[in-house]
Amino acid sequence: MPTGATERSDASSATGNRRLRAVYRRELQDSVLFSSLAVTAGIAVTAMVACLVAPGTALAEIAIAAPLVLTGLGVAQTVPCRCRRYVIQLGALVGFLPMLSMASIAILVPPSAPIALGSAGLIPIAFAVFVPLQRRPHLIWLVTANMLFLVPIAIFPSSATWSRDLPAFGFVLAVASGVSLGANEIQLRRRQQMNGQLLAVRGLYARMKEHEQDLRRQDEFLFMQQETLVVQQAELLRLNEELETIARLDALTGLGNRLRLNEDLAQAAARIERHGGTVGLLLMDLDRFKRLNDAAGHLAGDAALRGVADVLRKTSRIGDGLYRYGGEEFLVLLHDCDESVLESAGQRYISAIAAAGMPHPDNPPWNLVTASAGARELSQRNCLDIDAALHDADEALYVAKASGRNRLEIHAGPGEVVPIDQHRAAS
């Protein structure tokens, strides 16, 4: 239960709030409109009753009631759309209308004074439903309203039947003033509760707005995080692709390594098994390469390996695979290659390596870097045993080494290695 100090603090805070002031002003407008219509109707009904009871006073009653009714109707017409800043003053004016009506009738039409006594009940209507004033302004209004009634009667005592009507008027005024004070006090307490509720709602709304802003910021942060994750995933995929590529390349020469060779051979064998065709295996070994390393150093040997790799790239066809088989050995995978194409391609590679002119003093009689090669055709007859095909190419290579180097030998079939000269003669 809020204390009085808390209620006053809430009330002052609510009064200082623009939105709450707008709510109070609209409530004031509605209340003043209701009060003006009620008071105007009461004055008009009182005048009609007086005219019926005392027809001789009808003109005077109408003359007194008409301006007051028109004033009340004017306030009712003005308050909803104009003079919003003066709504309290207009409400006070509405509250004075019953007092003016009673005083005017008591002074100017004494026979109708008892009837005017009934209009005194309109005083609490004017301010009991009206949005409450603070206690001091409300007391000032009540005193002013009572004085507005009593002073004219005191000035014109002969116009009133004091012995009979004045106590009744005083009683009605006292009851009406008490009802107005009580209603105003109830409205003040209601207003304090309303202030607290409105401020609580306003605080809840502010917290909801802050929570909404926090959620929006979190959404933006999560969106940025999602974008960052998408970029990171794309970068990770790219790096993985690069790593997969690097894992299948020889670091020194940039040619495919044994892992890449095994994958490509498996694909070629599967393709040959399903669709037929042939693939040529050309295995090359640099002649007397160990002497080059011993005489000129490993850096010279690495340079020779890189040079041979460049020669292979320039000499190869589009689609052929180039690999560093191991050490100073290289392998070329020639697609759609029969024995005649394999022979011409092998001679082309060997001649290109010698023609590159890379010096090798310990490789007589050429004194250049040369290579010996062994070849084997891979077809549907032997595609299911790749290791055997590689072994056949290696046997042909050693035959080329034993036959004088810088030459090509082709492994023609099972257990048979045909020197290139004999092969040419046979073909």
Name the residues annotated as catalytic.
328
DSSP conformation letters of 299-341: HHHHHHHHHHHHHHHHHSPTT-EEEEEETTEEEEEEES--HHH
The residue type of 49 is V
Helices (H), 132-164: 135-155
- Among candidate residues 382, 403, 404, 407, the one with its CA nearest the CA of residue 392: 382
C-alpha dist (Å) from residue 97 to 90, 134, 141: 11, 21, 13
Question: CA–CA separation, 111 vs 48, rounded Å?
Answer: 14
Which residue in 177, 181, 192, 325 sits closest to 250, CA to CA? Answer: 325
Distance CA 390, CA 46 (A): 127
Q: E strands, 117-251, where? A: none
How far is the C-alpha of 342 from the C-alpha of 425, rounded, in Å?
A: 16
Q: Which residues does 114 contact at the CB level (< 8 Å), separation at least 6?
A: 165, 168
| Rounded distance between C-alpha atoms, residue 110 and residue 200, angstroms | 55
The answer to whether residues 109 and 64 touch, using CB atoms and an 8 Å cutoff, is: yes
* Dist. CA 349–CA 344, nearest whole Å: 9
Q: What is the DSSP letter of 256?
A: B
Q: If DSSP codes are grouped into helix, strand and coil, which group holds residue 151?
A: helix
User: Does residue 323 contact residue 249 with C-beta atoms inside 8 Å?
Assistant: no
Token pair for residue 109? 């039409």
Token pair listed for 345: 């391609």
Q: What does each C-alpha distance from 245 to 86, 323, 330 come to in angstroms?
A: 85, 14, 19
The DSSP code for 12 is H
